[in-house]
Amino acid sequence: MPTNLFSPLQMGSLSLTNRIAMAPLTRNRAGAGNAPQAMNVEYYRQRASAGLIVTEGAQISATAVGYLATPGIHSTGQIAGWKQVTDAVHSRGGKIFLQLWHCGRVSHPSLQPGGILPVAPSAILPAGQAFTPTGWQPLVTPRALESSELPGIVADYRKAAQNCVEAGFDGVEIHAANGYLLDQFIRDGANRRTDAYGGSLENRSRLLLEVVGAVAGVWGAERVGVRFSPINSFNDMSDSDPQRTFDYMATALNAFDLAYLHGMELDFGANPPDFDFAQFRRCFKGRYMANGGYDQARANAALASGYADLVAFGASFIANPDLPERFARNAPLNTPDQATFYGGDEKGYTDYPALS
């Protein structure tokens, strides 16, 4: 019988009941102090039938924030809020990883403690706008991190990973995609450094590998995933040779026995570069989570061929809290309401109907 979405998966010591992952989805509905609140608990509880939930990105520190009303994992209130989430998911037999997030240059002084500049590998002004407490504002030129500050960034990831243990998660995903801090170090369009963290591929991978090592030191590598987005131009990102860059990064991660590598295979922009995802996937010897416009048929084909080990679904999980059951019954899917994706209340968040 070919592997499909309903085949169980052993991921280290973690047993997944199916291979349907809920993708990390920013929804901008955190409560006071950027802590998860009651409607967040209900949202994740409703979706606990996923083989694995990967939460929305959670900031590893107060300076890692890039958006309003997004949760963190650095304060006692945030840890307590996430503990309610994990308890709710576990009560329904689910498994849940938290996505560790540092937005880097994709921020604004009004979102930073004391109004300081956001940080980045290099002081390059990105195109785009930030949604601030006073509305949309142009992004600013970030401050380039000093070499001496990078151990502190790694320490923030390590502490956030420890906080995830306290909050009851089953593991963590390191967000190195979509134009955020670790992706900014990886891609040469954002990294013009001349120290040990810039220039060569070895240097541009250094911070990521230090972070992976630190987080794996807390969790064990088998409970750690890493997310890349090789072709995504979102947040004004580019690379002069994405195939070479991300084949290298995927190969470098073979030094760890990770839970999975998560590949975001879409470009949110208009002109994606040529990229061979099959070649990229072959560079990584462990489990691969595919993500990017998959439907049930395409996901089953990717699993049956051995290309993917899990498939992540985003918008379809927003609109269908019981997505695995709908797939199992070949039932029609609810249509996502894009107007309610970001911010707001329970409307478009916890009120999508499940099958009767």
Catalytic residues, which ones?
180
**How many of the other CB atoms lie within 10 Å of CB of 356?**
3
Separation of alpha carbons 338 and 314, rounded Å: 12
- CA-to-CA dists, residue 124 to 50, 139, 146, angstroms: 39, 11, 15
- CA-to-CA dists, residue 94 to 17, 170, 228, 356, angstroms: 9, 10, 24, 21
Separation of alpha carbons 13 and 11, rounded Å: 6
- CA-to-CA dists, residue 227 to 3, 16, 50, 67, 302, angstroms: 23, 19, 18, 19, 18
Separation of alpha carbons 301 and 305, rounded Å: 6
DSSP readout, 247-312? HHHHHHGGGS--SEEEEE---SSS-PPP--HHHHHHH--S-EEEESS--HHHHHHHHHTTS-SEEE
β-pairing, 135-138 with 129-132?
Answer: antiparallel
Encoded tokens for 15: 């047993």
Separation of alpha carbons 74 and 146, rounded Å: 22
Distance from the first to the final alpha carbon of the chain: 30
Strand partners, 263: 228, 290
The H or E element spanning position 227 is: strand 224-228
